[in-house]
Amino acid sequence: MFTKILDFNIFNRDKTALMNYIENFEKVNIISGNPEVLFNGLNSPVLKKNFESESSIIIPDGVGTVIASKILREPVKEKIAGIDVFREILIKANLEERSIYLLGSKEETIKKCVENIKNEFPKLKISGFHNGFFDLNNCSDIIEDVKSGNPWAVFVAMGSPRQEIFIEKIIGNSNVHIFMGVGGVFDIFAGELKRAPKWMISLGLEWLYRVAKEPFRIKRLMAIPKFLLLVLKYRNKQISA
């Protein structure tokens, strides 16, 4: 069910199996394990502890993570995009009339995202929302706002590592069932960005589409070769051991 990539266990089955597996948890933190996020996890004691927690599930969200699994000869079954898992959770929340809390993005973006989610999932309840512009070291008011609404799921869209740091601050002292860092997902649900065409997604080229739309992401792609180099060194050590 898991492929060990460096220090982390990566879920290696398909999306349907993932959604079934989540049902086993009283509290779960879903981590979109692309190379950038995993690289941050390797270099931050706080994130590393969080990623290795028994309540965390790391999904292979990124072609670099898929390649890494193949290098280690324990390939994951498929790339599982965070936005697809986000949508599956919204579908379930709508069917079961659950509540969610949204945190992140600009004020106008999150408001539009909330509006669109309400229109598409009318039975789902939104216990609250807040933009992502605040001091992580002074955010007790936001943590209390999240907890006061007693949401079933909390989605944090502040990029890595900010979103993971916030989740680490709240996960141990709340009754939330699902936590998930979702990066730029709110921008897509707000209609401010479009997702790549299906043919690009199927070929593992969604990253290329996003870079074309947001050139600033080019710098972030440097995490991929750094991460894969570490994976190669790890594999060579295993072979020579």
> Which pLDDT tens digit goes with each residue over 76-118?
999 999 999 999 999 999 999 999 999 999 999 999 999 999 9
Q: Alpha-carbon distance 236 to 211, whole Å?
A: 32
pTM of the model: 0.92
Q: pLDDT for 146-196, tens place per residue?
A: 999 999 999 999 988 899 999 999 999 999 999 999 999 999 999 998 877
pLDDT at 216 over 70: no
- Which tens digit of pLDDT belongs to each residue from 12-56? 999 999 999 999 999 999 999 999 899 889 989 989 999 999 999
Q: Which residues of 206-235 are buried (b: 16+ CB within 10 A; e: fewer)?
A: bbeebeeeeeeeeebeebbeebbebbeebe
Residues in the chain: 241
Count CB-CB contacts under 10 A for residue 134. 15
Distance of CA 212 to the CA centre of its chain: 22
pLDDT at 46: 86
